[in-house]
Amino acid sequence: MRAPIGRLEFDRIRQWMPIVTLVLLIALVGAFQPGFLEPETLLQLASDTAVLFVLATGVTFVIMIGGIDLSIQSMASLASVIVALTVSRWGYAAFAFAIAAGILAGFLSGVAHVRLKVPSFIATLAMGGVLFSAALVLSRERSITLQTSERDYQTWITGALLGVPNVIVIALVVLAVAHTIQSRTRFGRYSAAIGAGEPAAYASGVKVDRQKIIALVLSGTCAALAGVILAGRLASGSPTLASELLLPSIAAVVVGGTAITGGVGSIWRTLIGALIISVVRIGMTFVGVDIFAQNIVFGAVLIIAVAVTIDRSKIPIVK
Amino acid sequence: MSASADEPVLAMAGIEKSFPGVRALKHVSLELRPGEVVGLVGENGAGKSTLMKILSGVYQPDAGEIRLGGRATRFASAADANRQGVGMVFQEQSLLLNLTVGENIYLGTEAQFTRLGLVDWRALYASATRQLAKVQVDVDPRTRAAALDFATRQMVELAKALTLEEHASGHLVILLDEPTSVLERPEIEILFQRVRALKARASFIFVSHRLSEVLELSDRIYVMKDGAVVAELQAAEADVKTLHRLMVGRGLQAEYYREPLQKPFGADVVLELDGLGRGDAYRDVSFKLHAGEILGIAGVLGSGREELTRTLAGLRPHDRGRLIVGGREVRLSTPADAVDVDLGYVPRERRVEGLVLFLSVAANITLPSLKQLARRALIDLGEEQRLAKTWVERLKVRTPGVDALCLNLSGGNQQKVVLAKWLNAKARILILDHPTRGLDVGAKEEVYELVRAATGEGVAVILTSDTLEETIGLSHTVIVMRDGVVTYRTPASPGAKPNQVDLIGHMV
């Protein structure tokens, strides 16, 4: 049967909605606050988006296969604590410890998800609790400020390359690597297939369990990296450093146009989504919205974005 | 209303329905008289489903009139159609398997048994028992639907449709939409017998792809083609050939199953089963499959052939005996294991297990063999496009392009993509699990041709099919299973094909 014309048209428009939204938002904020469009402010915006983008990139891999990772903010906080606790003694190896913790946490969530057949949202919700407690215990419930000598190890995060802040460079590297993984590797293709039609992917010989574990490992790794960057930028580690980032991260993925049901999406879309979230955040600051009230907006944005990106004619029942 | 003998229970006149880009129904008129079974046949896309959806209140016609018991009416929704005495028995069984038979029968209409918000279960089950008696099914209505076989479930659906007569004023109209597609011959006999027995209570519209069954059950037959009724004839005066010619506009060719292309198979044994068994499903199954051979497995539901097929696909591993693929003993715990030894599974549920509908044609074709396209961990996208285009051309897949989503292809073209996928993966053995289910005649012929071409190049095939005719027509060798064991085995060379009656004798 031929697809109804109207739906095809709408699909085409839907695809461009995130980028159009981003441009309109930037223009809107720029109109009220001309200083916003200065190169310096825009670089600041990009720097502030980096952590959110890295977190959102990781969770994009999991959402693509039709799952979710709710442990990312706890993982990022734990990573910041690990860095703060070990950098004085171990130097750069501290970053490796933090990343290794992310890999391990992702792997354990993945194994629980596929071997014990626990839904990913339960496995990662539980893992998030474990990681949060671990961060609390390790830090003795304190925020650990980095000493001046320790900050030398953070220059790869806090420095700048030819005037461009390093965090932006790191985010661009993450973008390039993640985009390649997602669009060019077998894992990327398999995860799209699993998200769009798991039974067919399985019957075609795709090792579904393995791809799910890889997705959660990538998510854990990105979360740890985000925590490392955050620790560098804020010169501290704390069990609540990345709190309030889970909601904006998932909102970024979905606002960018990746379907929460899996199968359709890309890292590029997540970049656009993360920028939208950042611009909205700054816009709210200009308008004078209390910083603690901002998640009210992000919660609403998430619901609206999910409602708009899912084509309900194709998905009759949503649980 | 009291319908006289020749006043139609249902009359549709000049029904029109268009969707963007397609005129699905063109001035369709149809009548149904009391106690009559009317057959409705046509190829896929001829407009049968659209017409049924209008009758069941799912679609609204753009123009035309529907008269029920002589009175003009319209069906605003499925519930509205039900209220007016139009019931449906769907092709895909719609019972909820986790509910009991009684709960299913009164699903959505429990209100009649409800007191103060609580359901009077005793009354509901007593009433359900009476409904089941109408279709002569003797099961406890407290049984879960999952525990019933397909035939009984179909009877329960029929019983559910018959509950309408307690509320609708007139003679019931029941739509039977492909009710036999999951039933085997003996079960079909029972269904038909019950339908005939119910003619005093209801009139039926019987939609089916199986022309011989339509001829058997119907009093009168409407033939649809390209959205219009092209013929109306008495069943007694029609035969399969006539119907077929009217449906497709050309005669049934003698070489329908491409028998002239059936070449003798090779000597190489590519697959050997030696005393294979799994649980209660099947046991002691032994046979050899040769390169280029099509081996058809016939059997009713419960014969074990379905489970055996799933074993070979890597979905239900065996627990006894030996399975030897390409000279190596294997156990297929997952489909990935099966793919590793060059087995390709063409599942009956094409849209669920066969294709990832929301991926492109190209991505589906390369899915099982992506490894071969990997250059230093990255997929060679240019090569992928080239391969996909080659297959689309070779198999004549009608698609806007290799980047189009499989969702938008017709059933026949989807099946070609599934075949392309396994041919591209260089599968040596194809497991064809009801490969032409839901396809129209033209698409079936194309699938037969592709299967013949593949076997001509040495691919071996295990076939389980919807119809015995197809099993016989396509296969080099036919084995029959009953109650989990092989009961009969016969060669099926061109010109010396076994006949259906003989095989049925070994099936039941």
Chain segment A204-238, per-residue pLDDT in tens: 999 999 999 999 999 999 999 999 999 999 999 99
CB atoms within 10 A of CB B243: 23
Phi-psi region of B239 (alpha: psi -120 to 50; beta: other; left: phi over 0): beta
User: How far does Cα B117 stand from its chain's mean position?
Assistant: 40
Half-sphere exposure of B274 (CA within 13 A, CB side): 12
Contacts of A264 in chain B (CB under 8 A): 358
Query: Mind telling me how many Å the CA of B160 is from chain A's nearest CA?
Result: 24
Contacts of B19 in chain A (CB under 8 A): 1-2, 4
Supply φ then ψ for residue B39, to 5 degrees. Answer: -90, 145
The pLDDT tens digits of the residues spanning A33-53 come to: 888 888 888 888 899 899 999
A263 touches chain B (CB under 8 A): yes
Burial A138-153 (b: 16+ CB within 10 A, else e): bbeeeebebeeebeeb
Q: What is the mean pLDDT of residues B496-505?
A: 80
The C-alpha torsion from B298 through B302 and B307 to B308, rounded to 10°, is -40
The pLDDT assigned to A99 comes to: 97
Dist CA B437 CA B194 (whole Å): 25
Question: Do the Cβ atoms of B367 and A264 come within 8 Å?
Answer: no
A317–B contact, CB cutoff 8 A? no
Phi-psi region of B294 (alpha: psi -120 to 50; beta: other; left: phi over 0): beta
Distance from CA of A167 to the nearest CA of B (A): 27
Contact B370 A263 (CB under 8 A): no
Give the integer Cα–Cα distance in Å for A192 and B360. 11
CB-side exposure of A47: number of CA atoms within 13 Å? 20
Which residue is closest to A177 within chain B, CA to CA? B378
| Both structure tokens of A242 | 């990345």
State whether B338 and A205 contact (CB < 8 Å).
Answer: yes
Interval A291-300: pLDDT, tens: 788 888 888 8
Which is more confidently placed, A274 or B167?
Answer: A274
Please tell me the predicted confidence (pLDDT) of residue A12: 67
Interface predicted TM-score of the whole assembly (ipTM), two decimals: 0.86
Q: Indicate the helix (H) or strand (E) that contains B175.
A: strand B172-177
Interface of B with A (CB under 8 A): 19-22, 45, 313-315, 334-336, 338-340, 345, 347, 349, 352-359, 363-364, 367-368, 370-371, 374, 377-379, 381, 407-408, 410, 421
Whether the predicted pLDDT of B254 surpasses 80: no
Q: Quick one: which of B22, B92, B130, B84 has its CA closest to B410?
A: B22
How confident is the model over B270-309, as pLDDT tens digits?
A: 999 999 999 999 999 999 999 999 999 998 777 899 999 9
Give the one of A1, A186, A202 whose C-beta lies nearest to B371's C-beta: A186
| CA dist., res. A198 & res. A218, Å (int) | 20
Confidence of residue A273 (pLDDT cuts 50, 70, 90): very high
DSSP structure string for B271-296? EEEEEEEETTTEEEEEEEEETT-EEE
B192 and B185 Cβ atoms separated by less than 8 Å? no
Work out the average pLDDT over A121-139.
96
Nearest to A63 by CA among A296, A309, A235: A309
User: pLDDT grade, residue A59 (50/70/90)?
Assistant: very high
SS3 assignment, position B28: strand
pLDDT of residue A6: 46
Q: What mean pLDDT do residues B17-35 have?
A: 83
Interface contact A189, partner B, CB < 8 A: yes
Q: What residues of chain B lie within 8 A of the CB of A199, using their CB?
A: 349, 352-353
Phi, psi of B220 (to 5 degrees): -140, 150
pLDDT in tens, B104-122: 999 888 888 888 889 899 9
The answer to whether B88 touches B175, Cβ cutoff 8 Å, is yes
Which residue in B20, B335, B371 is closest to A5 by CB distance? B20
Per-residue model confidence as pLDDT tens digits over B163-188: 887 777 678 899 998 888 777 787 88
Provide the percentage of residues in chain A whose pLDDT is more than 90: 61
pLDDT of residue B500: 76
Strand pairing partners for B374?
B379
Instruction: State which of A148-157, A173-182, A306-315, B434-443 shows the largest mean pLDDT.
Output: A173-182
Chain A partners within 8 Å of B315 (Cβ): 203
Q: For B419, which residue in chain A has the nearest alpha carbon?
A: A204
Residue of B19, B20, B379 lying closest to A186 (CB–CB): B379
As a whole number, mean pLDDT of residues B354-361 equals: 93
How far is the alpha carbon of A105 from chain B, nearest alpha carbon, in Å?
25
- Average pLDDT in chain A: 89
Instruction: State yes or no: pLDDT of B2 exceeds 60.
Output: no
CA dist B388 and B402 (Å) reads 6
End-to-end CA distance of chain B: 45
Among chain B residues, CA nearest to A261: B358
pLDDT, average across residues A142-146: 90
- Interchain pair B345, A199: CB under 8 A: no
Mean pLDDT over B130-159 rounds to 87
Q: Is the per-residue pLDDT at A4 higher than 70?
A: no
B355: which chain A residues are within 8 Å (Cβ-Cβ)? 197, 200
B455-495 pLDDT, tens digit per residue, is 999 999 999 987 788 888 899 999 999 999 999 999 988 87
Reported for B192-195, long-range contacts at CB under 8 A and 24+ positions apart, including other chains, are: B192/B216, B192/B217, B194/B135, B194/B136, B194/B155, B194/B158, B195/B37, B195/B158
In this prediction, residue B165 carries a pLDDT of 78
Cβ distance A197 to B357 less than 8 Å, yes or no, reads: yes
DSSP string, B362-423: HHHHHGGGGGGGEETTEE-HHHHHHHHHHHHHHTT---S-TTSBGGGS-HHHHHHHHHHHHH
Identify all chain A residues contacting B353, using CB atoms and an 8 Å cutoff: 199-200, 202-203
Q: What is the pLDDT of residue A312?
A: 52
**A186: number of Cβ within 10 Å:** 18
Return the pLDDT at B102. Answer: 92
Q: What is the pLDDT of residue B150?
A: 79
Minimal CA separation from B82 to chain A, in Å:
22
End-to-end CA distance of chain A: 28
Q: What is the pLDDT of residues B298-314, one digit of tens each?
A: 987 778 999 999 999 99
User: Is the pLDDT reported for residue B430 higher than 50?
Assistant: yes
